[in-house]
Chains A and B, each alone.
Chain A
Amino acid sequence: MRYAMAVDTRKCVGCSDCVVACQTENKVPIGFCRDWVVEVMDGTYPQLEMEIRSERCNHCENAPCVRCCPTGASHFVEGGIVMVEHSQCIGCGACIASCPYDARYPHPDGYVDKCTFCEHRIKNGLTPACTAVCPTKCLYFGDLDDPNSDVSVVLKKRKYKTLIPEAGTSPQLYFLI
């Protein structure tokens, strides 16, 4: 099993619903977020292009955050999801520094927090909160080992890219272009 997410940049309108749905679902304190939206502009008026991306932890196969964690708090679980065991995290911040995607933040309660692909929801057959709420249905989640999963199907159909592939982390967040 290999969980992954695809983000359709052609449909995303950057509304940030993924952000607020994640914040309420996961009780992320106000002022912090586990996912965010990026807008990239190119060109000169009126020859313009824009890409909008909903971003979050890439749940890398080769995750520097897991490697550098001194206590083992950062770890993998089933499906390759990178998790943080709050009780084992000492808040040293090594993982924050190591992440090429800046996906982690220091939770005010003293540990480091980040996207979990809503592991508590997917265990119960639901999709992550961001995916479930997205009004444009631009987020596709599922198991790459299952050829019929939403994410497998859309990655077969469409061209995609990953972010900072040169970091060699083998990210599992795919951007449809």
Chain B
Amino acid sequence: MVSRRDFIRISALGAGAIAVGAGAFKVVKALSSPEEVKKLVVDLRRTPTYCEVCFWKCAGWVYKTSEGKIWKIIGNDDDQHCNGRFCPRGTGGVGMYYDEDRLKTPLIRVEERGKQVFREATWDEALDLIAGKMKKLSADYGPETMALFTHGSGSTYFTTLLKAFGTANIAEPSYAQCRGPRDEAFMATFGEEAYSPEITDIRDTKCLVLIGSHIGENMHNGQVQEMSDAIDKGATIITVDPRFSTAAGKSKFWLPIKPSTDIALLLAWIHEIIYNEYYDRKYVEKYCMGFDQLKAYVSEFTPEWAYAITTIKPDLIRKTAKEMADASPAVIVHPGRHVTWYGDDTQRIRAVAILNALLGSWGRRGGFYRPSKFALPASAIPAFKAPAKSWQDLFPGKYPLASSPVSNALIDASVPENNPAYPIKGWFVNGTNLIFTIPNQANTLKAIQNLELLVVVDTMPMEITGWADVVLPECTYLERYDTLRAAPHRKPAIALRMPATEPLYDTKSDYTIARDLSKKLNLADYFPFEKQEEMLDAQLKKAGSSLEEMQRIGVKTFEREADDLYFSDNEDVEFSTDSGKIELFSAYFEGAGFDPIPKYTPHEEPTEGYYRLIYGRAPMHTFSRTANNPNLTDLMDENTVWINPMVAKEWGLKPDQYIWLKNQNDIISDFPIKVRVTERIRWDSVYMVHGFGHAEKKLKRCFGRGVSDTQLITNVLVDPIMGGTGMRSNFVTFVTEKTEEEAAL
């Protein structure tokens, strides 16, 4: 605190007097040297972690107050994911720990006087019950009847457990509900995926093209930071979005496209780049195959053709194609992340990949770099027995090119009417709120009604927990060790998460839960370490570090083995595709019965009085999981529906008025949503942030706040290539008053 003596009073004397006053300032304290500051910052009360609020997994430090209470989380300067700067969600991660609505003890569903309720249970009871039921299910149907739905750090342990149990039905909704089409499209084109964090070299790019990708609103930390660096360096940003996104506000060119027509725009760009000979000829000749077929295919797709479809003026299509070409190869047509929109998403991202190939950006500075990942020594556990039946066997021939299990296929296989080849009767759910994650909620609930066991592991009483037979409360990431983070990046690196404090309430880490359950399933060999820190220490020692060292530094970055971040001039590159080349024409797709070059297909349009429902992210929230976080709710506590002023006028809607939304299948939102009248959205669409409208009353802070987009997504366009669930073909209208009948629903 500053002593009274240092006060300087000025009256209304104006600026001249300030200069006089300035001379009278007393030096409070000499500023410390950087070394002293460093010492000051290396505080014994800080412990390393990496963030679990989203998948970017930034490494940071947890600081505690002198009373030992968790105080704040600050980014680790040595971490490539965050460069010492956490995003709002990471900074607000403390709220996950302090949220008083957390799950506090194991719960078991019981019947009391004809009503189902949860009763509190001990861990032993809960795990005994689960192990008993799993064994019975295995005896009745085979172990493949168990499915795991998982997201985040806990995946590792529950995957090990379920594989050891004998099932490979392990799905991450981050595949079929999010980035799956992108992975398959990039694999088919370059033989490699776009990774997480994405290998986009944004910091050195001269031109960044975003197609519906709203960097800055999606707070993928390193990427947001690099976009800002690129702005500083004068890079051109081109944004394609029916909504004036934050990124659009930073863009030299904003293409306010008619929703669902992106492939037409991409084909026109490809046409322009080929027929104006803008493409990187040397690169294409050396690395690509199928150019002639592509050239012949796109001959008709002129900007004029695309204008009629996309509403983007031909001149703007030409100008932006030229802009990309001028920046080539330092140009990124961003692959996006949540790309399950219209059911032809793999093909749309194939067009993105092809465009990048023509511009020669893959493997080039300012385009896509080659990632390097630290190879962690694995701990010795018994080999998994190959399961007798795979997820592909459930519906033979469906989603033939999916390289990961498709969550919605596992859900469909839990509904007997769908005639799966064998039944899915047990679900283990960790870190994903399937009610908000999977579109067509009625289908998910029908599947749940047919289960004999549903186990949910979470920190919060999310909607899915309400359907569980057993709820297991995990502690937050701030209270536990986890596997080392070793993600691909410019340099290989590892990061440690360790507990900043003991777990609150009767909660346990995912490792402990999986290990204890493995004992009850006679699978303890798969968890040879009683304590996770012993496993980490053994692993780190093999890697030339130690637990002690990592506790001190948090992140360890290594040099790349070779100087090969980008292709060198004339380097011979063998791509992991069938041809060993970048495939502009995909024989692999053609062989499986799909278009070898992306095709534009018109999609359904809203009928009169209905508007296309578009959803996205807010920078301070992750999925539906942070809606109750006290710190983050303080920044944003409900979503709003964005409505164009012309539409609002037509409907007589006023700003801040609460309305309900009704979709094309007459589903009316559970809760009302606040109207935001804004020029930032097209007249044929409405927009809302995903993750609100929680219907679980135990989430006291966010219950009934805003609307769940997932509830209104009942028309799902499934990508036949890989099973992705296209979710942007739903149309809503406005309901200003609910009828009694509707209110009763």
Contact = CB atoms under 8 A, between A and B. Distances in A.
A165 to B, nearest CB: 12
With most chain B CB atoms within 10 A of its CB, the pick from A11, A27, A136 is A136
B672 to A, nearest CB: 23
Interface string B1-35: 11010111111111100100110011111011110
B15 A77 contact: no
B679 A45 contact: yes
Contacts of B88: 15-17, 19-21
Given A10-B250, A50-B249, A83-B2, A76 B10 contact: yes
B14 A24 contact: no
Interface in A1-26: 1-2, 10-11, 13-17, 19-21, 23-25
A30 B632 CA distance: 10
A137 B228 contact: yes
B498 interface: no
A132 interface: yes
Interface in A101-131: 119, 122-126
B8 A24 contact: no
B620 interface: yes
A2 B22 contact: yes
B634 A13 contact: no
B635 interface: yes
Contact of A78 (B6, B12, B15, B75): B6
Contact of A13 (B27, B84, B246, B681): B246
A125 B91 contact: no
Interface residues of A, number: 55
A11 B37 CA distance: 28
Contact of B85 (A50, A124, A133): A133
A22 to B, nearest CB: 10
B528 interface: no
B86 A17 contact: yes
B682 interface: yes
A112 B87 CA distance: 28
Nearest to A88: B4
Contacts of B28: 77-78, 123
A77 B6 contact: yes
A77 B221 contact: no
Contacts of B221: 135
Interface in A23-56: 23-25, 27, 30-31, 33, 41, 43-46, 48-50, 52
B70 to A, nearest CB: 10
A93 B276 CA distance: 67
B71 interface: yes
A61 interface: yes
Interface residues of B, number: 77
Contacts of A125: 31-34, 36-37
Given A13-B619, A62-B12, A78-B26, A20 B228 contact: no
A67 interface: yes
A46 B311 CA distance: 12
A11 to B, nearest CB: 5
Contacts of A43: 679
B91 A21 contact: yes
B217 interface: yes
Interface in B194-231: 216-217, 219, 221, 224-225, 227-229, 231
Contacts of B18: 61-62, 80, 170
Contact of A20 (B14, B21, B232, B620): B620
B630 interface: yes
A119 to B, nearest CB: 7
Contacts of A21: 72, 86, 88, 91
B244 interface: yes
Given A52-B249, A66-B10, A77-B28, A119 B2 contact: yes
Contact of A14 (B7, B91, B619): B619
Nearest to B632: A20
A138 interface: yes
Contacts of A25: 72
A117 to B, nearest CB: 12
B634 A23 contact: yes
B94 interface: yes
B634 A30 contact: yes
B92 interface: yes
B7 A46 contact: no
B15 A61 contact: yes
A30 B250 CA distance: 31
B249 A136 contact: no
A33 B620 CA distance: 15
Contacts of B91: 17, 20-21, 24, 133
A127 to B, nearest CB: 11
A50 B244 contact: yes
B701 to A, nearest CB: 10
B381 to A, nearest CB: 39
Contact of B244 (A24, A30, A45): A45
A11 B231 contact: yes
A62 B680 CA distance: 38
Given A13-B619, A123-B28, A41 B87 contact: no
Nearest to B633: A30
A119 B284 CA distance: 57
A147 interface: no
B743 interface: no
B678 interface: yes
A150 B634 CA distance: 31
A72 interface: yes
A116 to B, nearest CB: 10
A81 B12 CA distance: 17
Interface in A132-177: 132-138, 170
Interface string A75-87: 1111110010100
A43 B21 CA distance: 45
B407 interface: no
B254 interface: yes
Contacts of B619: 13-17
Contacts of B85: 17, 132-135, 137
Given A49-B249, A124-B40, A135 B87 contact: yes
B243 to A, nearest CB: 10
A45 B228 contact: no
B12 to A, nearest CB: 6
A134 B90 CA distance: 12
Given A13-B216, A125-B34, A24 B94 contact: yes
A165 B723 CA distance: 57
A66 B9 contact: yes
B705 to A, nearest CB: 15
A46 B630 contact: no
A60 B635 CA distance: 27
B12 A67 contact: yes
Contacts of A48: 244, 248-249, 254, 679-680
A129 to B, nearest CB: 8
Contacts of B630: 30
A62 B682 CA distance: 45
Nearest to A33: B634
Given A62-B14, A136-B224, 5 more contacts: A10-B231, A85-B2, A125-B36, A126-B41, A137-B228
Cβ-closest 7 pairs across A and B: A13-B216, A15-B619, A136-B228, A50-B249, A17-B88, A75-B7, A46-B256
Interface of B: 1-2, 4, 6-15, 18, 21-22, 25-29, 31-34, 36-37, 40-41, 71-75, 82, 84-88, 91-92, 94, 216-217, 219, 221, 224-225, 227-229, 231-232, 244, 246-250, 254, 256, 619-620, 630-632, 634-636, 644, 678-683
28 contacts: A10-B250, A13-B246, A15-B224, A15-B620, A16-B619, A17-B88, A20-B631, A21-B88, A24-B91, A46-B256, A49-B249, A50-B249, A61-B15, A62-B14, A66-B9, A67-B12, A75-B7, A76-B21, A83-B2, A85-B1, A133-B74, A135-B82, A135-B224, A136-B224, A136-B225, A136-B227, A136-B228, A137-B228
